[in-house]
Structure 1
């Protein structure tokens, strides 16, 4: 390591931590290191998502999600162009398959226009089929701003640039202890002690635990939801041209199972949203008694469970039943058959939950003296990562008294 005492330590080398580090090393005169618990960057949420560059369609106008997604989306497209990262600005269709979904589709269209999405337009059933010939829909919405990319490619490029600008990334360094000694923060890690003047917590699935370790009460708890995917067999990929989404259930911060053409080839279908029994619970068999006890003793968890028990049973059933999963997909593409898809990967979403049982829908970032904690950064955080990085860098400039280059 180059420095004995760093100006800034970032905990977590996911896409938000990396984007934040990149903005800091580009703009300020400082020593910086990222501490990553795993043996590589982007090992969790960043490397296990559907690879969509989101438009900003779904988010409440004026919210942190909306503002950061809209500016971050354009920044992401520019970054991909400038760094020769494979991507496709392909657009997507959002499809209503039942009259009860029309009002929610109307709301999405209104939100999209309020968020400045020029070019979105309603689609008749015939127009839907002109874009996606095998989709069954009674009404639809065309969203031209949406695209696809591999966020692992993006994250690795962020990491390379950080090092080129003089920053450091230390893997296999899980933070396990914190001490604030006369305005000098000492972090105990699995690879030794690190001293820093300032700290930024971008630890995703462990953001609440890291905040508490650092003496900050987050006022929420992270609940892990596993999203499981199926992959279409190559001979049936013709059923999907680009991106096909259902009208989401407005009660939940999840978009529903959808079809995504992947930028490096292939078509994925999913994800669902089922409670994981371990923070990094990518498989059904991944179980951690301490993790279950951690959120099982949280009052907000039981309030959520009571409120959404029907949805929980449905999602769990779909997790164990391929037939139920495929039935949900057939609402969009009736010609899809059981043998047309097979199980693929999964991801785990860090979802913040308040003590009253509400699933937090917006980004949540908390500032404290010499500390910034990113407590809730689910989708579209990857799309918005450069914008979120700018937001956190501005907080750090004010809070950490940084000097611009």
Structure 2
């Protein structure tokens, strides 16, 4: 007779962190984390090494005990529930597969521990292997598989028990670039198909932006900003998020109320709290927010101070082809280098004088 853990579960699991802190002696790793994960949502915890993202995941899995605060799953406090009773499917960076077992036996292991009946166990194993595209490799030993295939086995093993939530801790970082991209897309497709609540820990911003419904950017044990990928990229709440998400040029400017003046162009400001009118600031401008134009007059910026309307002049240092786009690096009169991203159909030569303008999108700023 199978126990209740073997029965199908609803994937509508909500998870709430309320004032969660974690300390090791005098070292505080998490500082009053508040986070609501909605039913069926895919949340990425993103940040540099040591920011606390893995610790937060381990607290949810029951592998760490919170120092203070509360974690609830579907409204129930799980603080005193042991890890093996929390019903979380966990996939780590290390595959941790049993080398003496076949792929099928590895996936089946959790169901055997739950005493799921044989026919049901067999059906669920085959279903999970089919889900991750490994139905044809069930009899192979895990150590004979490629890294990407082994990680699929680990994913199937986590899903076969029909957990309330799927927790992924840097699951792709040991794989090469092409396999990593392919597998991350497959994970997202599987998560969407199952509708399972998922928390994904990564330090790779591209990975987080590609798969998550919302991303929590962490730094020094706190969540700097939580939002949809596009929101984080286009409207970063802090200078850290502006620098960590995507690529930004750090450009000097002057604060004018709720706008900043850069190259005689006034742009809307994000995150200017506490800065006074007229303050010198640094603005974080994305490469695609710059617009380049070819000038007929090729006099150097130091020779003439004429400007092509609002904007300034710069000299092309390099230009590289990126497929649909081109990345051009230019040097300003003061020697600063700026990266500009534009259509690959626009080609600029090294040492060419160009006009440099701003598109007008909002920018994050910090005190200079």
User: Who wins on radius of gyration, i.e. which is larger?
Assistant: 2
Normalising by structure 1, we get a TM-score of 0.22
Normalising by structure 2, we get a TM-score of 0.24
From the two aligned structures, give the one with the greater strand fraction.
2
Q: Which structure ranks higher in relative contact order (CA pairs < 8 Å, sequence separation ≥ 6)? A: 1
